[in-house]
Structure formats: C-alpha cells, structure tokens
Amino acid sequence: MIDPFTYVGLPARVVFGPGRRRELPAEVERLGAKRALVISTPEQRGDAEMAAGLLNGRAAGIHDKAVMHTPMETVHEARRVAEELDADCYVTVGGGTAIGLGKGIALESEKPVLAVPTTYAGSEMTTIQGFTEGGVKTTKLDPRMLPRTVIYDPELTVSLPPSYSGPSGMNAIAHAVEALYGEHANPVTSLIAEEGIRALGIGLPKVCAEPGDLDGRTHALYGSWLCGIALGAGGMALHHKLCHVVGGSFGLAHAPTHTVILPHAMAYNAPAAEAAMARVCRALGAANAPRAVYDLIGAIGAPVALKDIGMPEDGLDRAADLAVRNPYYNPRAITRDGIRNLLDDAFHGRRPAA
C-alpha cells in the first residue's frame, strides 16, 4: 500500500567526484559571483587556503573563524568582514560548523553560499540551523540557508581521521534512519535514505580501516549526501531529540552522541516502525536493524557507550525528564520509563535485544 504523502525537493546543484574541487572557480562564476569569501574553522585554514588558491582572482579573502554551535556574534562578524572585502558570495570549506556559519550569513544577506563539505554531517542539504545567542540555542528553519551549490570531493575527506570519520558517518546514518519513520517520511525520501545507509555501510568500514581508501571515501561521502537529503526532507524524531537533549545539556560531542544513541533509539521505535527497520536491514544485509547498526559501530571502532563519551551517570534522570518535555514527532509513544531504560542501555553500551 502507498500512503498519501507530500514530497518537497530542495533546489541545490550538486557536483560530485574525486578532484572536482578544481571546478570551484567555474561554479562560483556560474553563481554570477566574482569575489568569494572562503569560510572555515581555524583548524581547516589549510583547506581554506587551498580553496582560495583555486579561486585565484575570484577569492575576496579567507575568514577562518567558524566555531561550534554557531554563536550569532560570529555570524555578525563574518558579515562585517564580507562587507569590508566586498564579497559577493560565500564558499564554506569544512563540516557542519563551517556550513553553519555560512547558513547564518545567508540568512542575513541575499548572497549565495557554495558549500564544500569535508565531513559526513549533511548540513549542506538542509534548511535548518541551530544558533546560540547569550548562551541560548535557537533553531531556525529558512530556505535562504540552503547552499545553492555543493561540491563533494572525496579527496578532501581523506584527512578526516577514523576517530571522527566513523562517528560522522553514523551521524549521517541517523538522519536516514529517522527520515524512514519520521513525520514526513515518503516513498522518495525512503529510497534515498536506504541507498544512503547502504553506501555508508560499504564506505565506513573501509575508511576507518584505511583513511586513504578513495573508494571507501567516495561511498561514504555519496552516502552522507543522500542521508543529508533525507534529513532535509524526512524530519527528525526521538533519536534527534535525545541527541539534542544529551548533547546540549551535558556538553557531549555531536557525532559521538549520535553514534551511541542511534541503536537504542531504533530499538525503542522498532515495534512501531517495521517498514523502516526492514529497509535498514536490506541496506546493511542484516536480520535485525538496531543490532546491525550497533555491530557496525563496533566494527568501525566508534564509541558504543555514553559513559565513554563524558555522560555522567547521575545525569540520566535529568536527561529522561528533558527528553519527554516537548517531544518531537515519534512513531512510538514516548514514556518516561521507556526513555530512562533506553538511556541506561546507551549509558552502558548494551547490545540491543534481539
């Protein structure tokens, strides 16, 4: 049976393949821009310089001040720098942090953003972004934040260490899993999500074993693109809510938190999301979806327990209280006891029950 659905495709131009970063000047020209401001974190200054070098006469300058959680002050500062340098477009080079700053500027100006992602987070495919102001995080949803062009060059991800590649890829898989059972799930997004999980299931073990494996990098980046589309179109549910609560309230790192929580959020939702779990099984060639995801995490050497990524055990009750407050849409009813048990399993890193 095909249930009624609404599908919204987001209008980004995607240029994918090893070496295609070299097409950056042509892509900037295609946007009708002449002076691009290159944006990165301080850690990726080298990659930003590479991009500015490729742009040659079309580079207005480099702004390497992107930081986690996208404080609004950094958005205002970047915009001021862009005005001083007379920039007419922004090129973000990096993961969700660099893209977040680009999205912030896009909200405040009419100038286009071109993203060159170097992680698997998928933010470049969504119209959503969290910002912090005065210590308070607010999430904005606005189509102006979508990068107009995205260049995916797997060669740029070779430098992402296995300790980050694995969790970053699991962050992508989490987007796809929740899109499969999210409020806006539909046949098109589900196809995309399943293929994204399949590609990451091939790519992640390769890149975590051998970071320079270009075939693995290509699969992983292709999968992360698809999972980013799924996130942008399918929506978020219990898993993302838990990650936002646990990560935000206890200061845990973004990608490792997604990695640890995912199999447990899936186990919780499995009884109410059979079709979604069947797709995950098919994508990973497995019989039990939460277990297959848990085993993939183990196989790539990523963390499986909240206790190993900085979560205090005496914070679990507070996390459960916060998680049941203003819950996101979820296929299965959310109960305080159910969430507390889920968090206990995630804290200790237990393999989900068969």
137's CB contacts (< 8 A; 6+ apart) are: 69, 130, 131, 248
- 159, 275, 301, 335: which one contacts ligand NAD (CB under 6 A)? 159
Here's the x/- map for ligand NAD, 294-333, by CB under 6 A: it reads as ----------------------------------------
Rounded CA separation 277/6 (Å) = 22
Using CB atoms within 10 Å of the CB of residue 324, give its burial: 0 to 12 exposed, 13 to 18 middle, 19+ buried: middle
Strand ranges, E, within the chain: 13-16, 36-39, 59-63, 89-94, 113-117, 128-133, 136-141, 149-152
Which residue's CB is nearer to ligand NAD, number 78 or number 270? 78
Rounded least distance, CB 22 to ligand NAD, Å: 17
Using CB atoms within 10 Å of the CB of residue 337, give its burial: 0 to 12 exposed, 13 to 18 middle, 19+ buried: exposed
Q: Which residue is nearest to ligand NAD (CB)?
A: 96
Task: State which of positions 162-221 bind ligand NAD (CB under 6 A).
Answer: 164, 168
Rounded least distance, CB 161 to ligand NAD, Å: 7
Which residue's CB is nearer to ligand NAD, number 228 or number 331? 228
β-strand partners of 61: 37
Residue found under tokens 């430098």: 159
Rounded least distance, CB 176 to ligand NAD, Å: 12
**Angle CA 348–351–354, to nearest 5:** 145
CA atoms within 13 A on the CB side of 207: 35
Amino acid identity at 210: E
CA atoms within 13 A on the CB side of 132: 12
Task: State which of positions 88-127 bind ligand NAD (CB under 6 A).
Answer: 94-98, 100, 118-119, 121-123, 126
Which residue's CB is nearer to ligand NAD, number 95 or number 352? 95
Which residue's CB is nearer to ligand NAD, number 35 or number 175? 175
Task: Count the site residues for ligand NAD by CB under 6 A.
Answer: 28
Rounded CA separation 221/196 (Å) = 9
- 52, 160, 242, 346: which one contacts ligand NAD (CB under 6 A)? 160
- 255, 270, 283, 346: which one contacts ligand NAD (CB under 6 A)? 255
Task: State which of positions 53-72 bind ligand NAD (CB under 6 A).
Answer: 68-69
Rounded least distance, CB 336 to ligand NAD, Å: 26
- 85, 128, 281, 299: which one contacts ligand NAD (CB under 6 A)? 128
Strand ranges, E, within 166-259: none
Q: Give the binding site for ligand NAD (CB under 6 A).
A: 41, 43-44, 68-69, 94-98, 100, 118-119, 121-123, 126, 128-130, 156-157, 159-160, 164, 168, 254-255
